[in-house]
Chains A and B, each alone.
Chain A
């Protein structure tokens, strides 16, 4: 084979027209690699370990501040597969993209309450667990993984879990805050222009419902009506409606925001005056999953990435980076003690008790969608 022909095949492989295996075959590099691997395993094995048809890239769709970038680099070094990361602000948006089709995603991170809808709409496939040897159902805390299993089939495997509370800058806000009533009253009162809420119906409407002590998941028209009144009254007093609240909280523009566990942990780690509060009326507890969309273009690479991230050693690094607790006891064994005792990640039992998992009905309920839209466009 001359140089020109080799370059031709190399280009074809880079463009994805032929697989790595075909490329190695036609160029004779496969044989050479095999010989080399026997002679000098260290040199070739990291990539060869995954050799096969993984391709050269994988597309992961996930949430902001949710991974350790170093782990992606390690994955690429090990497999030769580059990780392309897409970040979304809400499950609604993810669902809309998948419904419209042609996303090109190989792996994505849906939240517990959306998985049954994905299955009903035939947007995800039952997982081939033989391709996820790092996942051990027996090591998982049941309540955080059960939403991934429907009719005995596993459609999604647990990534981590968390709560939705709020973050308070205690240098600016001296009141002791414990409830969602405190949150809304102060946001509309003394701290007008300083509070943020999610750009996201589930938590924003859910936590407005908690002001009245209603269920976080309520779809009762009268209760939703009350929540809408509260939201419309609060809107002129809000600093912003945005799920990416870390920049504004860190630079001091916002003093109060609806917040997820990991963001609360990350901000508290860097600025101890930012504290995380779980409303005593309740609110949301949730768990996130890895799932593979139907028709994933690099399906094998998607599984390989999920398997890599679920490996306890890797997952432990993820948890330390993003600050969300894992449901995997094997991962937890590898975590430093102070993380396992952290009250943001592992809140007290009496705070956890009233929390609710989001329900599928809140995702698909048109009234909730319309209330959020009216709130934003008011």
Chain B
């Protein structure tokens, strides 16, 4: 009887400790994620107050008005995936070289080169691109070489260049990590079994680095969907993203309800694409894993 009570007490104490330890993160999650999102949902059904801001109401007019921001959705939905793919294509060979081909010294040197830009503010680096892509930068060089007159700054291309530059390291690192963990004997085994290098890359290396590729693509894609600064600075306010439309609706038009509806649109698109992407890639990754093991 007495022992049962004791173990009861111990169990209760453990439960308390668990609750206490979880409390900060639960609070964090509630206060900074759930509550703000709930506010956005409520706002999205409201009306713009006369002088701007929010006024309580229940209307779906804001959602019906979403096509008015079609261009922003279109720009984001084209440039974010394209940016992610270009990042992937640029990052994979680099990560592969770093993890598999490079000597330890070279690897350290190159890794530092990839990390160094993070020591400078993203804003300043993007400003630097304004000068590189501006009339006195790269276009002047191209013209001097006699390759004709080009306009780079304030075009979708300059936005794409800025995005790939800005997010490349976020793609390189996860792929590098998954390739570095790869057991090189598996490649040797594939070669012993008569597989040519290209085939063993496709059947061994690539599937085993899939977790890194998936993580990298998720990181870059989600951040690109919410991008605001690069379209503003390198797009000259002409290549509008959903992020820019949001800033505009909250800060210039002061139409919080419509802004909230656009934000909900972004959240829904993001959830849908990420879910589909994970479903597809997980099935692919899992199937390969099983066949390899």
Contacts and interface: CB of A to CB of B under 8 A. Distances in A.
Contacts of B153: 253
A95 B253 CA distance: 10
Given A121-B51, A239-B236, A373-B245, A96 B251 contact: yes
B236 A92 contact: no
Nearest to A200: B252
A287 B168 CA distance: 46
B172 to A, nearest CB: 31
Interface residues of A, number: 35
Given A252-B135, A373-B252, A120 B51 contact: yes
Given A121-B51, A251-B134, A377-B248, A369 B253 contact: yes
Contacts of B253: 92, 366, 369-370, 372-373
B50 to A, nearest CB: 7
A240 interface: yes
B184 interface: no
Contact of B254 (A99, A199, A252, A374): A99
A249 B48 CA distance: 37
Interface residues of B, number: 30
Nearest to B70: A377
A235 interface: yes
Contact of B251 (A97, A242, A252, A374): A97
A236 to B, nearest CB: 9
Interface in B49-77: 50-53, 68-69, 71-72
A364 interface: yes
A56 to B, nearest CB: 26
A97 to B, nearest CB: 7
Given A251-B135, A369-B253, A369-B255, A95 B248 contact: no
Contact of B52 (A193, A251, A364): A364
Interface string A58-99: 000000000000000000000000000000001011011101
Contacts, number: 89
B17 to A, nearest CB: 35
A192 to B, nearest CB: 10
A241 B252 contact: no
Contact of B249 (A117, A248, A373): A373
A90 B135 contact: no
Contacts of B255: 366, 369-370, 373
A92 B72 contact: no
A376 interface: yes
A309 interface: no
B136 interface: yes
23 contacts: A92-B251, A92-B252, A96-B250, A99-B52, A117-B51, A121-B51, A200-B252, A238-B236, A241-B236, A241-B237, A242-B237, A252-B135, A253-B153, A364-B51, A364-B52, A366-B255, A369-B253, A369-B255, A372-B248, A372-B253, A376-B237, A376-B248, A378-B240
